Amino acid sequence: MQFNEDDPAFWERCYEEGEPGWDAGGPVPPLVRVARDRELLAGVEQVAFVGSGPGHDALDWARAGYHVMGFDFAAPAVRAANERARAAGLGERCRFQRADLFELGEPYAGVFDAVVEYTCFCAIHPERRGEYREVVERILRPGGLLVGLWFPASDPGENGPPYRVRREDVSRLFLRGRGAFELVHEEQPPDSIPRRLGRERLMILRKPLR
Ligand SMILES: C[S@@+](CC[C@H](N)C(=O)[O-])C[C@H]1O[C@@H](n2cnc3c(N)ncnc32)[C@H](O)[C@@H]1O
């Protein structure tokens, strides 16, 4: 099947064919760690995961005490993630919904204290990055956090999968101009899963209060 990142059928096929290459098989250590950093995440209760996929990280945040909503437009991923939540007894605290993130509209405006990004931004076409920012801005409350574990962020020269994410891309999109977010934390995680070690950048950004 030809790659078309805007077509849920492409992603659904990947899930139907078996465990997709991006599935880490469990929550990734940098996000496990951030979820439990109550100082960094002070005031965070309602959390959205965009492009939540198998849902391992979202489930772990629910386990850490947050109310979590995962959004993904691939039906098999959403089904499996909801089953995992139920099996873990987290169905009340963690729900997954089939939705195109670009269509998250009014019902979600200002609802979330934090949005978590992991390997979703690299899956959308670079021409849609402005729209991605608009969605994040829309669903975050004023002062809310974008917790981005940006991958693949090795600089320079690495492409995919499928699109490269340079620090400069994140910075240009969120940290400049009118309505710029504030960078509240940045690091190269020492505890990334082995195959992504040195290729991820954790950047936590705060939406302005107004
Ligand atoms: C590379 S996978 C990563 C999944 C998950 N974040 C993880 O770490 O395992 C990208 C995910 O984003 C989803 N996705 C891509 N574009 C989307 C969109 N416009 N709306 C909702 N989900 C989208 C895909 O269905 C896929 O599950």
Q: CB within 6 Å of ligand 1 — which residues?
A: 11, 22-23, 51-54, 71-74, 77, 100-102, 118-120, 123-124
The CATH number covering residue 91 comes to: 3.40.50.150
CA–CA distance, 13 with 118 (Å, rounded to integer): 20
| Rounded average pLDDT over 31-45 | 98
Identify the residue whose tokens are 């979600």.
108
Residue 189 lies in a domain: yes
Report which ligand 1 atom has the smallest distance to the Cα of 11.
25
* 138 Cα: distance to centroid of ligand 1 (angstroms): 19
Cite the DSSP H helix spans in the chain. Answer: 8-16, 29-35, 56-63, 75-87, 129-139, 167-174
CA–CA distance, 132 with 151 (Å, rounded to integer): 16
Residue 2 lies in a domain: no
Nearest Cα residue to 164 out of 114, 199, 139, 131: 199
Residue-wise pLDDT tens digits, 168-201:
999 999 999 999 999 999 999 999 999 999 999 9
Residue 105 lies in a domain: yes
Nearest Cα residue to 173 out of 116, 123, 119, 135: 135
pTM above 0.85, yes or no: yes
Residue 1 lies in a domain: no
DSSP at 26: S
25 lies in which domain range?
8-206
Residue 3 lies in a domain: no
Q: For the chain, what is the domain count?
A: 1
Residue 149 lies in a domain: yes
